[in-house]
Structure 1
């Protein structure tokens, strides 16, 4: 076991890389009106900076894992961070909206910080893998909570371009830290990219892989429905200030952070399957309570936002456990499996939020949002039940 830990980098570095992987998603959001005014464009165009970034992160997930199985975690991470720094500098100096959006897409490579952190943990943590993934995942929740506040302050003091200067500096610091403290941890690299392409085929015909991927997609899909639908519910609920809306919206990420810490704390006592199922049951129970309160026409904001805390708690328990199993079950394809599962999760959750949004209006927001979230959470529970069944059958893992 000693050799398994000798090349392990500091956990604090992996947590920081995970936070950097998600921070660019929304830290600049308070500056979007200023960016639209400076480039004299409409909000729909500038919103590509958010939607396009999400697509770029899905693509990064898809290829970074496979590349790291072939060329190593460290090299892929350094390349991704270098692309992120270039994208950040390009956004800072952009003279037109199209140049800005083009370089903004390059910033999506930052998500490799999260993906490679999980892969490194898989390589080095041994029996502590689930606990360490829980701590890293908590950073994935904290960063989006504090990012808009920090970005808004930077923009108010120094202008919107200051956000992208900060990204460039953070990326450069990350490169320096990786060069200094993160050794190569992948000791079982594949011999060719063709082997990785065949790995995609193996994964795509694996029932167990699809069970995990669907569980993760529906789990995050529930969160995306909340994020997209909760503001409409807040509008429907009278006498609620903008400040309180922000506080209520922050309850779910706070729940995710607590759930991730719980997964890290009790990861050695409970199996990943137990955490996955318990997380799904907790989310379903909370949303059933939310549905009952809506049916009883109890209209206090906490009647909606309170039960939704269970979305964060449940996701915080489920996602670290699911990620750890995807990394473990497909030992010879750990990076490839994680990348493909993360890409499916991102794309699937985005599609769920999009289709749910087609039916949500201010007049029916609460009922439709609760119904959509309950539907996706029940589907994630069904996928979790399928995972348990397939694991109990003892299918041979892909090597």
Structure 2
């Protein structure tokens, strides 16, 4: 039985099961975003500079990239359920290490452990959706799942800012440990295995063959790179915005958290549009529209700061539309990448997710190293990533012109 036929015969997922996927997907975004308002205060608490404390973000993203690469392929071989449960347990343990860290080195180690475990939720929720739904429904369903998942980064900085103000930076890690533990308990109770094609994954040699076939696919690279560069625009902002807001503008961590809620609001709207229209409009048009929205929004941010308007609205207003662009691009880009080789959906989800997060891990330290007395290094890096996203989409467009029968 092929993977496609299995997906076609699966019963529709219950709302409670989709809610579990949303919660599992939210674990790692919470780990990324909740402690952001605390970063300047953490640097002062450990007696290090901002670039050093930013390693807790960039290495988290790097560990997520590596973890997704491994977890996705292992789930093809051993199943989605055991890999997700193991990942959630590792996330809880990593959160405990961060909570009890007495020096920055141990904190960074805890963040790496946290990331390796947390990435299971993002990777495997996408693979599970691909297991349950046919290729025409994948982009829409991923859009709905990630729309719900976007609530996590919307509320996380706000909660983190308030917790930082009231109880200090360690309170965020208490929350992450408790949330991860709750999702672990519910998943162990409700999650059933969706990968009924595990024999096709076979040996390590066959897993490597799956990766090699993905590496040779222009379509896979087109969808993955477009999604990765658009995502990198967001991660560049995440890396630099706390410094710009708190250090350059003199605002509080709590205020940063409240303004940050604007960004996921745009992402939710974009994901809702993807869920509603991707099936009819087609994933390629959604990707192209989202890429242009992102590029135009970065240009708007640059114009606003060039006019001398140094205010949080100038930073977060355009980011609403960049979030919208991410919401239009990512579901269709992910759906395209994991549908190139349906029999290796876990490997494709892991590799595409690894590259997507890996690009964020690359831009985050660059932003941290270049930011100084102005916002322009941040804007420049965001603009470069936007242009590269548009260029990457050319790989998909070229393939479709050369093979009009190609569909995702």
**TM-score between both structures, scaled by the size of structure 2:** 0.83
Conserved 8 A contact 2:338-2:345? yes
Alpha-carbon distance in structure 2 between the residues aligned to 1:114 and 1:75: 15
Conserved 8 A contact 1:88-1:167? yes
Change (3 A) 1:71 1:53: same
Counterpart of 2:221 in structure 1 is: 210
1:149-204: CA deviation from partner (whole Å, max 9, x where unpaired): 32344455566544434333322322222222211111112111221122222222
Counterpart of 1:3 in structure 2 is: 9
Counterpart of 2:130 in structure 1 is: 122
User: What SS does structure 2 have at the residue aligned with 1:186?
Assistant: coil
Q: How does 1:115-264 map to 2 (within 5 A)?
A: 115-126=123-134, 127-154=136-163, 160-189=169-198, 190-230=201-241, 242=252, 248-264=259-275
Please state how far the C-alpha of 1:373 moved relative to its aligned partner: 2.7
Alpha-carbon distance in structure 2 between the residues aligned to 1:124 and 1:277: 27
Residue 75 in structure 1 maps to residue 82 in structure 2? yes
Conserved 8 A contact 1:232-1:361? no
Conserved 8 A contact 1:18-1:139? no
Unaligned 5+ segments in structure 2 are 1-6
Unaligned 5+ segments in structure 1 are none
Alpha-carbon distance in structure 1 between the residues aligned to 2:41 and 2:251: 24
Change (3 A) 1:179 1:236: closer
Conserved 8 A contact 1:15-1:135? no
Please state how far the C-alpha of 1:222 moved relative to its aligned partner: 1.8
User: What SS does structure 1 have at the residue aligned with 2:26?
Assistant: helix
Conserved 8 A contact 2:221-2:395? no
Change (3 A) 1:149 1:374: closer
Change (3 A) 1:24 1:305: closer
Counterpart of 1:275 in structure 2 is: 286
Please state how far the C-alpha of 1:78 moved relative to its aligned partner: 0.9
Q: How does 1:24-43 map to 2 (within 5 A)?
A: 24-31=31-38, 41-43=47-49
Conserved 8 A contact 2:154-2:260? no
Deviation larger for 346-355 or 103-112: 346-355
Counterpart of 2:4 in structure 1 is: none
Root-mean-square deviation (Å): 3.3
Please state how far the C-alpha of 1:360 moved relative to its aligned partner: 4.9
Alpha-carbon distance in structure 2 between the residues aligned to 1:86 and 1:125: 33
2:25 corresponds to which of 8, 18, 27: 18
1:197-247: CA deviation from partner (whole Å, max 9, x where unpaired): 222222223222222222122111222333345567668997x85576655
Change (3 A) 1:100 1:351: closer
Alpha-carbon distance in structure 2 between the residues aligned to 1:157 and 1:290: 32
Deviation larger for 25-34 or 256-265: 25-34
Conserved 8 A contact 1:84-1:107? yes
Please state how far the C-alpha of 1:3 moved relative to its aligned partner: 2.4
Change (3 A) 1:101 1:352: closer
1:96-137: CA deviation from partner (whole Å, max 9, x where unpaired): 554444333211111211111111011003343222211222
Conserved 8 A contact 2:227-2:389? yes
Change (3 A) 1:282 1:58: same
Deviation larger for 328-337 or 50-59: 50-59
1:286 corresponds to which of 269, 280, 297: 297
Conserved 8 A contact 2:97-2:107? yes
Change (3 A) 1:237 1:178: closer
Residue 310 in structure 1 maps to residue 325 in structure 2? no
